[in-house]
Amino acid sequence: MPSNSPTDPQPLSFDNTEIAFRGKNNKDLSRAYWLFKVISSNFLTRIGPPVTNFAMKTGLPIKGLIKATIFRQFCGGETIGECEQTIRQLASGKVGTILDYSVEGEEKESVFTLTAEEIIKTIRRATGDPSVPITVFKITGVGRFGLLAKLDAGNELTNAEHVEYVKLKGRVDMICRAAADAEVPVMIDAEESWIQDTIDKLALDMMQRYNRDAVIVYNTYQLYRHDKLVSLQKDAARAKSSGFILGAKLVRGAYMEKERKRAEERGYPSPIQPDKASTDRDYDLALQFCLDHTAQVAIVAGTHNEESCRLLCQLMAERGISPGNRHVFFSQLLGMSDNLSFNLADAGYHVAKYVPYGPVEAVLPYLFRRAQENTSIAGQTGRELGLIVKEKKRRKI
Protein backbone atom coordinates (compact mmCIF):
# COMPACT_ATOMS: atom_id res chain seq x y z
CA MET A 1 0.00 0.00 0.00
CA PRO A 2 1.46 3.44 -0.93
CA SER A 3 2.65 5.65 1.89
CA ASN A 4 1.00 9.00 2.61
CA SER A 5 4.07 10.45 4.32
CA PRO A 6 4.79 14.18 3.81
CA THR A 7 7.83 13.29 1.72
CA ASP A 8 5.74 11.63 -0.97
CA PRO A 9 5.50 13.80 -4.10
CA GLN A 10 2.08 15.04 -5.12
CA PRO A 11 0.62 13.67 -8.35
CA LEU A 12 2.63 15.30 -11.12
CA SER A 13 1.72 15.71 -14.77
CA PHE A 14 3.98 17.60 -17.14
CA ASP A 15 1.10 17.69 -19.61
CA ASN A 16 -1.06 19.96 -17.42
CA THR A 17 -1.11 23.06 -19.64
CA GLU A 18 -3.56 24.94 -17.43
CA ILE A 19 -0.88 25.12 -14.72
CA ALA A 20 1.99 25.51 -17.19
CA PHE A 21 0.52 28.59 -18.90
CA ARG A 22 -1.50 30.07 -16.05
CA GLY A 23 0.67 33.20 -16.11
CA LYS A 24 0.21 33.82 -19.85
CA ASN A 25 -2.77 35.62 -21.29
CA ASN A 26 -4.16 34.78 -24.72
CA LYS A 27 -1.97 37.36 -26.45
CA ASP A 28 1.18 35.99 -24.76
CA LEU A 29 0.24 32.46 -25.77
CA SER A 30 -0.33 33.42 -29.40
CA ARG A 31 2.97 35.29 -29.52
CA ALA A 32 4.81 32.25 -28.15
CA TYR A 33 3.06 30.03 -30.69
CA TRP A 34 4.20 32.08 -33.67
CA LEU A 35 7.71 32.49 -32.27
CA PHE A 36 8.21 28.75 -31.88
CA LYS A 37 6.75 28.23 -35.37
CA VAL A 38 9.48 30.52 -36.72
CA ILE A 39 12.18 28.86 -34.59
CA SER A 40 11.11 25.46 -35.91
CA SER A 41 12.37 26.54 -39.34
CA ASN A 42 16.05 25.55 -39.45
CA PHE A 43 16.52 27.92 -42.39
CA LEU A 44 15.34 30.99 -40.45
CA THR A 45 17.33 30.00 -37.37
CA ARG A 46 20.44 29.63 -39.54
CA ILE A 47 20.14 32.94 -41.43
CA GLY A 48 18.65 34.93 -38.53
CA PRO A 49 21.89 35.68 -36.62
CA PRO A 50 23.92 37.16 -39.53
CA VAL A 51 20.93 39.11 -40.88
CA THR A 52 20.09 40.49 -37.44
CA ASN A 53 23.71 41.41 -36.67
CA PHE A 54 23.97 43.20 -40.02
CA ALA A 55 20.73 45.11 -39.37
CA MET A 56 21.85 46.17 -35.88
CA LYS A 57 25.29 47.30 -37.07
CA THR A 58 23.89 49.32 -39.99
CA GLY A 59 21.26 51.04 -37.88
CA LEU A 60 18.18 49.43 -39.42
CA PRO A 61 15.16 49.78 -37.08
CA ILE A 62 15.07 46.15 -35.99
CA LYS A 63 15.63 46.50 -32.24
CA GLY A 64 11.94 47.10 -31.53
CA LEU A 65 10.98 43.94 -33.42
CA ILE A 66 13.58 41.86 -31.54
CA LYS A 67 12.51 43.25 -28.18
CA ALA A 68 8.83 42.53 -28.88
CA THR A 69 9.43 38.92 -30.01
CA ILE A 70 12.41 36.70 -29.20
CA PHE A 71 13.76 39.06 -26.47
CA ARG A 72 10.38 39.16 -24.75
CA GLN A 73 10.12 35.35 -24.83
CA PHE A 74 13.57 34.55 -23.44
CA CYS A 75 14.64 37.68 -21.48
CA GLY A 76 13.26 39.64 -18.56
CA GLY A 77 14.25 43.10 -19.78
CA GLU A 78 17.23 45.35 -20.35
CA THR A 79 17.64 46.22 -16.65
CA ILE A 80 16.83 44.66 -13.28
CA GLY A 81 13.95 47.11 -13.01
CA GLU A 82 12.49 45.91 -16.30
CA CYS A 83 12.61 42.32 -14.94
CA GLU A 84 10.23 43.09 -12.08
CA GLN A 85 7.11 42.15 -14.02
CA THR A 86 8.66 38.78 -14.94
CA ILE A 87 9.73 38.21 -11.32
CA ARG A 88 6.16 38.83 -10.14
CA GLN A 89 4.65 36.67 -12.88
CA LEU A 90 6.92 33.72 -12.08
CA ALA A 91 6.35 34.15 -8.33
CA SER A 92 2.57 33.98 -8.88
CA GLY A 93 3.18 30.43 -10.10
CA LYS A 94 5.53 29.64 -7.17
CA VAL A 95 8.59 29.77 -9.47
CA GLY A 96 11.66 31.74 -8.45
CA THR A 97 13.81 34.01 -10.60
CA ILE A 98 17.55 33.72 -11.24
CA LEU A 99 18.63 37.13 -12.52
CA ASP A 100 21.27 36.50 -15.18
CA TYR A 101 23.16 39.51 -16.54
CA SER A 102 23.82 38.10 -20.00
CA VAL A 103 26.34 40.49 -21.54
CA GLU A 104 29.04 38.45 -23.31
CA GLY A 105 32.26 38.73 -25.24
CA GLU A 106 33.83 41.74 -23.54
CA GLU A 107 37.59 42.07 -23.07
CA LYS A 108 38.23 45.29 -21.12
CA GLU A 109 39.07 45.57 -17.42
CA SER A 110 36.68 48.50 -17.08
CA VAL A 111 33.81 46.37 -18.42
CA PHE A 112 34.73 43.48 -16.10
CA THR A 113 34.52 45.85 -13.12
CA LEU A 114 31.12 47.15 -14.23
CA THR A 115 29.87 43.60 -14.78
CA ALA A 116 30.97 42.53 -11.29
CA GLU A 117 29.13 45.53 -9.86
CA GLU A 118 26.01 44.59 -11.84
CA ILE A 119 26.15 41.01 -10.54
CA ILE A 120 26.34 42.36 -6.99
CA LYS A 121 23.23 44.43 -7.78
CA THR A 122 21.41 41.17 -8.58
CA ILE A 123 22.50 39.85 -5.17
CA ARG A 124 21.17 42.99 -3.49
CA ARG A 125 17.89 42.63 -5.36
CA ALA A 126 17.62 39.01 -4.21
CA THR A 127 18.38 39.78 -0.55
CA GLY A 128 15.47 38.83 1.68
CA ASP A 129 13.20 38.04 -1.28
CA PRO A 130 12.25 34.35 -1.70
CA SER A 131 11.05 35.09 -5.24
CA VAL A 132 14.73 35.57 -6.23
CA PRO A 133 16.29 32.59 -4.44
CA ILE A 134 19.55 32.20 -6.38
CA THR A 135 21.90 34.37 -8.45
CA VAL A 136 24.45 33.52 -11.15
CA PHE A 137 27.46 34.75 -13.10
CA LYS A 138 30.05 33.65 -15.63
CA ILE A 139 33.76 33.92 -14.91
CA THR A 140 34.27 35.26 -18.45
CA GLY A 141 31.92 38.10 -17.52
CA VAL A 142 34.51 39.35 -15.04
CA GLY A 143 37.76 38.16 -16.62
CA ARG A 144 39.41 37.72 -20.01
CA PHE A 145 38.85 34.46 -21.86
CA GLY A 146 42.41 34.41 -23.20
CA LEU A 147 43.85 34.68 -19.70
CA LEU A 148 41.76 31.73 -18.51
CA ALA A 149 42.84 29.69 -21.54
CA LYS A 150 46.50 30.44 -20.83
CA LEU A 151 46.10 29.36 -17.20
CA ASP A 152 44.30 26.16 -18.25
CA ALA A 153 47.06 25.32 -20.71
CA GLY A 154 49.67 25.69 -17.96
CA ASN A 155 51.54 28.43 -19.80
CA GLU A 156 53.61 30.91 -17.83
CA LEU A 157 51.96 34.28 -17.27
CA THR A 158 53.66 37.60 -17.85
CA ASN A 159 53.91 40.05 -14.94
CA ALA A 160 51.01 42.01 -16.39
CA GLU A 161 48.94 38.83 -16.67
CA HIS A 162 49.70 37.93 -13.05
CA VAL A 163 48.29 41.31 -12.02
CA GLU A 164 45.29 40.70 -14.29
CA TYR A 165 44.65 37.33 -12.66
CA VAL A 166 44.86 38.79 -9.17
CA LYS A 167 42.21 41.34 -10.20
CA LEU A 168 40.02 38.59 -11.64
CA LYS A 169 40.22 36.56 -8.43
CA GLY A 170 39.45 39.73 -6.48
CA ARG A 171 36.27 40.31 -8.48
CA VAL A 172 35.16 36.69 -8.04
CA ASP A 173 35.79 36.89 -4.29
CA MET A 174 33.97 40.23 -4.07
CA ILE A 175 30.87 38.66 -5.67
CA CYS A 176 30.96 35.54 -3.49
CA ARG A 177 31.57 37.57 -0.34
CA ALA A 178 28.58 39.79 -1.17
CA ALA A 179 26.50 36.63 -1.65
CA ALA A 180 27.67 35.23 1.70
CA ASP A 181 26.94 38.51 3.51
CA ALA A 182 23.45 38.62 1.97
CA GLU A 183 22.88 34.86 2.47
CA VAL A 184 21.97 34.61 -1.22
CA PRO A 185 23.40 31.60 -3.12
CA VAL A 186 25.36 32.34 -6.31
CA MET A 187 26.04 29.88 -9.14
CA ILE A 188 29.18 29.96 -11.29
CA ASP A 189 28.27 28.85 -14.81
CA ALA A 190 30.30 26.29 -16.74
CA GLU A 191 32.05 27.33 -19.96
CA GLU A 192 34.32 25.80 -22.62
CA SER A 193 36.50 22.84 -21.60
CA TRP A 194 39.75 24.67 -22.35
CA ILE A 195 39.06 27.24 -19.63
CA GLN A 196 37.01 25.07 -17.28
CA ASP A 197 39.80 23.75 -15.04
CA THR A 198 40.64 27.29 -13.95
CA ILE A 199 36.95 28.03 -13.37
CA ASP A 200 36.61 24.83 -11.31
CA LYS A 201 39.58 25.80 -9.15
CA LEU A 202 38.18 29.27 -8.50
CA ALA A 203 34.74 27.83 -7.68
CA LEU A 204 36.12 25.25 -5.25
CA ASP A 205 38.28 27.88 -3.55
CA MET A 206 35.18 30.05 -3.08
CA MET A 207 33.19 27.10 -1.71
CA GLN A 208 35.92 26.25 0.75
CA ARG A 209 35.82 29.86 1.94
CA TYR A 210 32.07 30.54 1.99
CA ASN A 211 30.19 27.19 2.13
CA ARG A 212 31.12 26.28 5.70
CA ASP A 213 27.69 26.66 7.33
CA ALA A 214 25.37 26.93 4.33
CA VAL A 215 25.54 26.57 0.56
CA ILE A 216 26.45 29.93 -0.95
CA VAL A 217 28.56 29.08 -4.02
CA TYR A 218 27.62 26.51 -6.67
CA ASN A 219 29.86 25.23 -9.46
CA THR A 220 28.38 23.81 -12.68
CA TYR A 221 28.99 20.29 -13.99
CA GLN A 222 28.34 19.65 -17.69
CA LEU A 223 27.51 15.95 -17.87
CA TYR A 224 27.86 15.80 -21.64
CA ARG A 225 31.57 15.73 -20.80
CA HIS A 226 32.70 12.16 -20.13
CA ASP A 227 34.88 13.21 -17.17
CA LYS A 228 32.42 15.30 -15.17
CA LEU A 229 30.71 12.59 -13.13
CA VAL A 230 34.12 11.66 -11.72
CA SER A 231 34.90 15.37 -11.13
CA LEU A 232 31.66 15.72 -9.16
CA GLN A 233 32.50 12.70 -7.00
CA LYS A 234 36.05 13.93 -6.34
CA ASP A 235 34.81 17.40 -5.42
CA ALA A 236 32.25 15.92 -3.02
CA ALA A 237 35.04 13.93 -1.35
CA ARG A 238 37.12 17.09 -1.03
CA ALA A 239 34.14 18.93 0.46
CA LYS A 240 33.66 16.20 3.05
CA SER A 241 37.33 16.05 4.03
CA SER A 242 37.68 19.86 4.13
CA GLY A 243 34.41 20.51 5.94
CA PHE A 244 32.39 22.52 3.42
CA ILE A 245 29.16 21.97 1.48
CA LEU A 246 29.51 21.27 -2.24
CA GLY A 247 27.13 23.32 -4.39
CA ALA A 248 26.57 21.49 -7.69
CA LYS A 249 24.49 22.70 -10.58
CA LEU A 250 23.98 19.77 -12.94
CA VAL A 251 23.42 20.43 -16.64
CA ARG A 252 23.89 18.40 -19.78
CA GLY A 253 25.94 21.06 -21.56
CA ALA A 254 25.97 24.02 -23.94
CA TYR A 255 29.02 23.90 -26.22
CA MET A 256 28.91 20.49 -27.89
CA GLU A 257 29.43 21.49 -31.52
CA LYS A 258 32.20 23.96 -30.63
CA GLU A 259 33.94 21.38 -28.41
CA ARG A 260 33.91 18.62 -31.00
CA LYS A 261 35.07 20.95 -33.77
CA ARG A 262 38.01 22.28 -31.73
CA ALA A 263 39.07 18.78 -30.68
CA GLU A 264 39.03 17.61 -34.30
CA GLU A 265 40.94 20.65 -35.56
CA ARG A 266 43.62 20.37 -32.88
CA GLY A 267 43.89 16.61 -32.87
CA TYR A 268 43.01 15.78 -29.25
CA PRO A 269 40.27 13.43 -27.97
CA SER A 270 36.89 15.11 -27.71
CA PRO A 271 35.80 15.76 -24.11
CA ILE A 272 32.19 15.16 -25.16
CA GLN A 273 30.35 11.90 -24.53
CA PRO A 274 30.13 9.57 -27.57
CA ASP A 275 26.32 9.73 -27.67
CA LYS A 276 23.24 11.18 -25.95
CA ALA A 277 22.57 7.93 -24.09
CA SER A 278 25.93 8.26 -22.31
CA THR A 279 25.13 11.84 -21.35
CA ASP A 280 21.70 10.85 -20.03
CA ARG A 281 23.25 7.97 -18.05
CA ASP A 282 25.86 10.20 -16.38
CA TYR A 283 23.32 12.94 -15.69
CA ASP A 284 21.00 10.51 -13.93
CA LEU A 285 23.92 8.94 -12.03
CA ALA A 286 24.95 12.43 -10.92
CA LEU A 287 21.44 13.08 -9.60
CA GLN A 288 21.55 9.80 -7.70
CA PHE A 289 25.01 10.51 -6.28
CA CYS A 290 24.01 13.97 -5.06
CA LEU A 291 20.82 12.71 -3.41
CA ASP A 292 22.83 10.02 -1.64
CA HIS A 293 24.91 12.83 -0.08
CA THR A 294 22.41 15.66 0.53
CA ALA A 295 23.97 16.54 3.87
CA GLN A 296 27.21 17.37 2.04
CA VAL A 297 25.93 18.28 -1.43
CA ALA A 298 23.32 20.82 -2.53
CA ILE A 299 22.11 20.57 -6.13
CA VAL A 300 20.40 22.65 -8.75
CA ALA A 301 19.14 20.32 -11.49
CA GLY A 302 19.29 22.48 -14.59
CA THR A 303 17.37 20.41 -17.11
CA HIS A 304 14.64 20.56 -19.74
CA ASN A 305 14.47 16.75 -19.80
CA GLU A 306 11.17 15.40 -18.48
CA GLU A 307 12.60 11.99 -17.62
CA SER A 308 15.39 13.50 -15.50
CA CYS A 309 12.84 15.64 -13.65
CA ARG A 310 10.67 12.59 -12.99
CA LEU A 311 13.69 10.62 -11.84
CA LEU A 312 14.76 13.33 -9.40
CA CYS A 313 11.25 13.43 -7.90
CA GLN A 314 11.31 9.63 -7.61
CA LEU A 315 14.77 9.59 -6.01
CA MET A 316 13.70 12.20 -3.47
CA ALA A 317 10.62 10.18 -2.53
CA GLU A 318 12.64 6.94 -2.21
CA ARG A 319 15.12 8.63 0.11
CA GLY A 320 12.50 10.42 2.19
CA ILE A 321 13.67 13.84 1.02
CA SER A 322 10.91 16.43 1.21
CA PRO A 323 10.09 18.42 -1.96
CA GLY A 324 10.76 21.48 0.20
CA ASN A 325 14.36 20.48 1.01
CA ARG A 326 16.55 23.57 0.37
CA HIS A 327 19.42 21.42 -0.95
CA VAL A 328 17.41 20.44 -4.05
CA PHE A 329 16.31 22.92 -6.75
CA PHE A 330 15.03 22.40 -10.27
CA SER A 331 15.87 25.02 -12.88
CA GLN A 332 14.86 25.85 -16.45
CA LEU A 333 15.32 28.82 -18.77
CA LEU A 334 12.75 31.59 -19.12
CA GLY A 335 10.55 31.02 -22.14
CA MET A 336 11.15 27.25 -22.27
CA SER A 337 9.65 24.17 -20.60
CA ASP A 338 6.98 25.98 -18.59
CA ASN A 339 5.24 22.62 -18.33
CA LEU A 340 8.15 21.41 -16.18
CA SER A 341 8.75 24.54 -14.11
CA PHE A 342 5.19 25.38 -13.10
CA ASN A 343 3.97 21.82 -12.58
CA LEU A 344 6.98 21.02 -10.38
CA ALA A 345 6.46 24.22 -8.38
CA ASP A 346 2.74 23.49 -8.04
CA ALA A 347 3.66 20.08 -6.56
CA GLY A 348 5.81 21.77 -3.89
CA TYR A 349 9.32 21.48 -5.33
CA HIS A 350 11.81 24.37 -5.37
CA VAL A 351 12.02 25.70 -8.92
CA ALA A 352 13.76 28.78 -10.34
CA LYS A 353 13.95 30.09 -13.89
CA TYR A 354 17.01 31.72 -15.42
CA VAL A 355 15.88 35.24 -16.36
CA PRO A 356 18.53 36.80 -18.62
CA TYR A 357 18.65 40.57 -18.94
CA GLY A 358 20.82 43.26 -20.49
CA PRO A 359 20.84 45.62 -23.48
CA VAL A 360 19.21 43.97 -26.51
CA GLU A 361 22.31 44.23 -28.70
CA ALA A 362 24.52 42.78 -25.92
CA VAL A 363 22.35 39.70 -25.29
CA LEU A 364 21.90 38.77 -28.96
CA PRO A 365 24.47 35.91 -28.69
CA TYR A 366 22.39 34.43 -25.85
CA LEU A 367 19.16 34.79 -27.84
CA PHE A 368 20.62 33.13 -30.91
CA ARG A 369 21.82 30.19 -28.79
CA ARG A 370 18.32 29.74 -27.38
CA ALA A 371 16.77 29.70 -30.85
CA GLN A 372 19.38 27.26 -32.14
CA GLU A 373 19.08 25.10 -29.02
CA ASN A 374 15.36 24.68 -29.63
CA THR A 375 15.99 23.42 -33.16
CA SER A 376 18.97 21.21 -32.27
CA ILE A 377 17.44 19.43 -29.24
CA ALA A 378 15.37 16.58 -30.63
CA GLY A 379 11.68 17.36 -30.28
CA GLN A 380 12.11 20.50 -28.13
CA THR A 381 10.33 22.94 -30.46
CA GLY A 382 7.67 20.38 -31.36
CA ARG A 383 7.05 19.73 -27.67
CA GLU A 384 6.71 23.46 -26.91
CA LEU A 385 4.35 23.97 -29.86
CA GLY A 386 2.25 20.93 -28.98
CA LEU A 387 1.71 22.15 -25.43
CA ILE A 388 0.81 25.66 -26.61
CA VAL A 389 -1.68 24.24 -29.13
CA LYS A 390 -3.20 22.06 -26.39
CA GLU A 391 -3.67 25.10 -24.14
CA LYS A 392 -5.11 27.20 -26.99
CA LYS A 393 -7.67 24.48 -27.57
CA ARG A 394 -8.46 24.27 -23.86
CA ARG A 395 -9.06 28.03 -23.83
CA LYS A 396 -10.93 27.82 -27.15
CA ILE A 397 -8.75 30.51 -28.80
- Taking the domains of the chain in order of start, what are their residue ranges? 76-376
Q: What is the pLDDT of residue 372?
A: 60
Strand 297-302 to 328-333 pairing: parallel
**Mean pLDDT computed over every residue of the chain:** 90
Check: CB of residue 96 under 8 Å from CB of residue 350. Answer: yes
CB-based contacts of 3, cutoff 8 Å, min separation 6: none
Q: What is the pLDDT of residue 62?
A: 66
| 383-394 per-position pLDDT tens digit | 888 898 899 999
CB-based contacts of 367, cutoff 8 Å, min separation 6: 66, 70, 71, 74, 75
Measured distance CA(384)–CA(387) in Å, rounded:
5
Residue 347: C-alpha distances to residues 8, 249, 284, 352 (Å): 10, 21, 21, 14
State which H helix or E strand residue 217 sits in. Answer: strand 217-222
Instruction: Provide the CATH topology of domain 76-376.
Output: TIM Barrel (3.20.20)
Q: What is the pLDDT of residue 38?
A: 76
Q: What is the pLDDT of residue 59?
A: 65
Measured distance CA(319)–CA(191) in Å, rounded:
32
Q: What is the pLDDT of residue 369?
A: 66
pTM, rounded to two decimals:
0.91
Residues of the chain with pLDDT under 70: 1-11, 41-62, 105, 368-380
